[in-house]
Amino acid sequence: MSISKLVQEQKLYFHSGATRTIGFRLEQLAKLRDAIISREAEIMNSLRKDLNKSEMEAYSTEVGFVLSEIKHVMRHLRKWSKPQRAKTAIIHFGAKGKIIPEPYGVALIISPWNYPFQLAIAPLIGAIAAGNTAILKPSELTKAVSSLLSSLLSDIYPSNYVAVVEGGVEESQELLNQPVDKIFFTGSVNVGKIVMEAASKRLVPVTLELGGKSPCIVHKDASLELAAKRIVFGKYTNAGQTCIAPDYLLVHRSVKDELLALMKKVIHEFYGSEPVKSPNYAKIVSPKHYSRLISFLQEGHIVIGGQVDPSRSTIEPTVIDDITWNSAVMQEEIFGPILPVIEYEDISEVIQAVNARPKPLALYLFSNESAVQELIMESISFGGGCINDTLMHIASPYLPFGGVGESGMGSYHGESSFNTFSHMKSVLKQTNAFDFSFRYPSAKNGLSII
């Protein structure tokens, strides 16, 4: 079926009203949950094939992640979808205000390759919960997962309700030219701009989940052992190919050596003495991405790691010292297992340097001092993040997840997903029991209040 026909069929189905009842939405979410559970092994195999994700990583960051999101959404959906009463102003005496969440219609979801299952399914959960139909365009770089998504979703849903369009730039652009009602895009900043431009032609509401360089700050008073463990976890999960991975380390001069020594020990504990051959360590997605990352190893002084294995497309967890803000590795999002280190003396240097760059998607601060915590939270704008941890904010269904400025716009997860895929329709229901004549124009006195 052509892409334009698919969109037309979804529009027809949406306008039939079939997707509107809460019972229908809950039933579709239950089908999705059951299909994921029954095909879990296949999903894990596809993730192993595309990215060499270990079972533990694949479950915690992809399969388990979306299953708990479905559970959370199903538990709260009736409450979220109920029209909310709104207060009325004195001029509306006697009337009632209501905010009614309504689905947009056909939602287009374009997703990237790094968490290819989770980043396609998590927005789909929101689209279904809010009562939309949906078209998914997974990444062409993770073919096994893309074809699995197509098979899994076409088994449980008719294409006029939920469909997968596999392919790359061409298919993506054709989809962007269709009269869809909502676009949800996850990917790079550059493609985000293309998506927003396309959306502007039809004034389609758009959510952009983008990337960028997320700083990780370790202050002099931090609990260094915990910091080392949590930074290694956040940076080298999925071999650094995580949108919210700590991109670079800003560490207080007085604790740098100790922190790096601790990180070296933790890397060894997590991935063994030869991480490039570890079955628990993800590979780099493509030869092109691999060579881009290797080029970053030329500058600075490698203090941890540095080994590569082109035959397995792996790069050892690597830390590079003697890096400056002008180094090549500091000019773009790294998106791989390479962590540059820049030291500082005064926390004000950190604030000034981060604020001079695009607003990050995530920021991590390791410090026990509440004054330092407050200072950083108040002085730097970023999408979301953690104090004394990395990545974990993404796993809370109670925290809206998204970027700000160049790292994105809009948010999702939990109730925020429902809101992202809903239009909040404001309605004032007027009383007919009485009427204030002073609100109308009058030829007699010429008085008009409104």
Instruction: State the residues that interact with ligand NAD by CB under 6 A.
Output: 110-114, 119, 137, 139-140, 168-169, 172-173, 186-188, 191, 194, 209-211, 243, 333, 335, 361, 403, 408
Q: CA–CA separation, 17 vs 106, rounded Å?
A: 12
Q: Coil, strand or helix: which one is 344?
A: strand
Q: What is the dihedral of CA 32, 37, 39, 45, to 10 degrees?
A: 120
Question: Hey, how many other C-beta atoms are within 10 angstroms of the C-beta on 437?
Answer: 8
Q: Which of 9, 57, 62, 209 is catalytic?
A: 209
Q: Considering the complex, state which of residue 204 and residue 347 has its C-beta at the smaller distance from ligand NAD.
A: 204
Closer of 105 and 112 to ligand NAD (Cβ): 112
| Alpha-carbon separation of residue 303 from 155, 249, 258, 300, 447 (angstroms) | 50, 13, 12, 9, 79
Is 209 part of the annotated catalytic residue set? Answer: yes
**Closer residue to ligand NAD, CB minimum distance, 46 or 172:** 172
Distances (CA, A) of 379 to 217, 372, 402: 14, 10, 19
Find tokens 């930074």 and name the residue.
Answer: 231
User: Which residue number, 319 or 361, has a Cβ lying nearer to ligand NAD?
Assistant: 361
Of the two residues 149 and 319, which places its CB atom closer to ligand NAD in the complex? 149
State in angstroms the smallest separation of the CB of 110 from ligand NAD.
5
Q: To the nearest whole angstrom, how small is the minimum distance from the Cβ of residue 391 to ligand NAD?
A: 12
Give the CB-nearest residue to ligand NAD. 211
The sheet carrying 84-86 orders its strands as 84-86, 96-103, 422-429
Q: What's the closest the beta carbon of residue 129 comes to ligand NAD, in angstroms?
A: 18
Residue placing its CB nearer to ligand NAD in the complex, 44 or 120:
120
Which residues of 35-126 form beta strands (DSSP E)?
A: 84-86, 96-103, 106-110
- Residue 314 makes CB contacts below 8 A (sequence gap 6+) with 52, 239, 275, 276, 277, 281, 282, 283, 284, 308
- Closer residue to ligand NAD, CB minimum distance, 122 or 227: 122
Q: How far is the CB of 39 from ligand NAD (least distance, A)?
A: 22
Specify the 3-state DSSP secondary structure of 239. helix
Helix axes 22-38, 143-156, angle to 10 degrees: 130
Question: Could you give the CA distance from residue 372 to residue 366 in angstroms, rounded to a whole number?
Answer: 10
Nearest-approach distance from CB 337 to ligand NAD, in angstroms: 15
Least Å distance between CB 65 and ligand NAD?
A: 12
- Rounded to the nearest angstrom, the gap between the alpha carbon of residue 156 and the centroid of all alpha carbons in its chain is 25
Q: Are 448 and 438 in contact (CB under 8 A)?
A: no
CB of 123 to ligand NAD, least distance (A): 10
Backbone angles phi, psi at 215, to 5 degrees: -80, 150
Active-site residues: which are they?
209
